[in-house]
Amino acid sequence: MGLEEKLPNGILLASLEGVVNWARKNSMWPATFGLACCAIEMMTSGGSRYDLARFGMERFSATPRQADLMIVAGRVTQKMAPVLRQIYDQMAEPRWVLAMGVCASSGGMFNNYAVVQGVDHIVPVDMYLPGCPPRPEMLLDAILKLHAKVQDEPINARRAQLREESGAKTEMIPSSVKYAKK
């Protein structure tokens, strides 16, 4: 007699990690950080034509404490870098970052002293979305790829990665100290 015959109908077996990752994947709430023309395309993806609601993401958070996905859309200036880091630090773990557009990914055509040459100098980026500006379809594709990444991620991977990066220190460096002008 196999396992299927022993279990009553309506019982579902799953690993805890699989259930937790499924819940994380299907309940991402983005914190928008729209700085330039990419923000318009990001707002369009929340409309009825592209419908982010089908992924459980219809609620764009106005506060970082209720968000777990930061979508950085557009160029980040040196003056906005500490603000971006502060918002990222206020987000609860686990958190993910999507760099939307070539300006957020690498500074784009703005190769000067005022624009940060890639948001990955400020916060760790999980997904890069190229384009100038990227279309809403491209944003939806990047979100689906991020969902696949979250689904396959071990539960404690983020905590172990943070400990490894900080050298097992529990002390946090304030963003104002980390990005002070030299």
CATH number at residue 119: 3.40.50.12280
- 30 annotated to a ligand binding site: no
Q: Find the DSSP H helices in 102-155.
A: 102-106, 136-151
Domain assignment present for residue 51? The answer is: yes
Question: What total of structural domains would you count in the chain?
Answer: 1
Domain assignment present for residue 16? The answer is: no
Q: What is the mean pLDDT of residues 145-172?
A: 67
Instruction: For residue 161, give the amino acid letter.
Output: Q
* Confidence label for 93 from pLDDT (cuts 50, 70 and 90): confident
| Structural domain of 32 | 26-168
Domain assignment present for residue 60? The answer is: yes
Domain assignment present for residue 136? The answer is: yes
Sheet holding 30-34, edge to edge: 30-34, 69-73, 96-100, 127-129
**Is a pLDDT exceeding 80 seen at residue 129?**
yes
Model pLDDT, residue 163: 58
Domain assignment present for residue 108? The answer is: yes
- 37 annotated to a ligand binding site: yes
- 177 annotated to a ligand binding site: no
**Is a pLDDT exceeding 50 seen at residue 182?**
no
Bigger pLDDT: 81 or 168? 81
Domain assignment present for residue 9? The answer is: no
Domain assignment present for residue 153? The answer is: yes
Structure tokens at 175: 């963003």
* Confidence label for 40 from pLDDT (cuts 50, 70 and 90): confident
**Is a pLDDT exceeding 50 seen at residue 180?**
no
Q: What is the mean pLDDT of residues 146-173?
A: 65
Model pLDDT, residue 179: 47
- What predicted TM-score, i.e. pTM, was given to this entire model? 0.75
- 89 annotated to a ligand binding site: no
Domain assignment present for residue 6? The answer is: no
